[in-house]
Amino acid sequence: MLRVGLTGGIGSGKSEVARRLVAHGAVLIDADVAARDVVVPGSRGLSQIVAAFGDDVLSPDGSLDRARLGEIVFGDPELRAKLNAIVHPLVREWMGAAERTAVQAAGPSVAKTPGPIVVHDVPLLAESRGKGGFDLVIVVDVPAELQAERLVSQRGMTRGQARARMEAQASRGQRLEVADIVIDNSGSLDDLDHRVAEVWAELQRRAGS
């Protein structure tokens, strides 16, 4: 089995890369799915968040009001770190369990060469745990100006909102520091198809070695 961390800044097109890797045959474990699952009503994660930030972060139906929580922590690095200290360990635990399930489901294929390629889609990998024990890390990279343009045109943000969201994450340089493979996504979708195919061939080579 080859364990791959996949990351990239907001607006980099990481999800497009993840979809293409799955189409090639990767098993995808998504940290965003994990982050939602660990704070469902009745969960340990939600209880810890309420204890730390108060009942104001709950919606009327008892679920987490993500928008309200975001307003509380977004502009305060200390509060954001406090939230991350609750959520990140739970997400890692969830993703580890999902990986074990995926490998068990693969059954006899685990013994084949190349073995399963498990891709962990972790938006904040550089912020939370560096290489995180992965065999290698893929970073989806675009120039900051293009990143901001995409957030404005595709997600309806203002330039100020786009910059604030980008500045709340690791810098481009910090992400590249943890990269074993870089996928430049500043070109066309055809360019991305070609580059992901190249990367998939490299992952298969590493999984079989």
With a cut of 60, say whether residue 109 has pLDDT above it: no
**Cα–Cα distance between 147 and 163 in angstroms, integer?**
9
**Cα–Cα distance between 43 and 136 in angstroms, integer?**
32
pLDDT in tens, 62-85: 999 998 998 899 878 899 899 989
Nearest one of 3, 10, 2 to 170, comparing CA atoms: 10
User: Which tokens is 22 given?
Assistant: 């799955």
For residue 111, the model assigns a pLDDT of 43
Residue 102: which pLDDT band, with cuts at 50, 70 and 90? confident
If one compares 25 and 108, the residue with the highest pLDDT of the two is 25
pLDDT in tens, 137-185: 999 999 999 999 999 999 999 999 899 889 888 999 999 999 999 999 9
Query: In the chain, where are the structural domains located?
Result: 2-208
Residue 112: which pLDDT band, with cuts at 50, 70 and 90? very low
User: Which tokens is 82 given?
Assistant: 């406090």
Give the whole-number percent of the chain exceeding pLDDT 90.
Answer: 72
Write the burial class of residue 77 (CB in 10 Å: 0-12 exposed, 13-18 middle, 19+ buried). Answer: exposed
For residue 116, the model assigns a pLDDT of 85
For residue 100, the model assigns a pLDDT of 86
With a cut of 60, say whether residue 202 has pLDDT above it: yes
2-208: what CATH class? alpha beta
User: Which tokens is 61 given?
Assistant: 């139906």
How crowded is residue 182: how many other Cβ atoms within 10 Å of its Cβ? 16
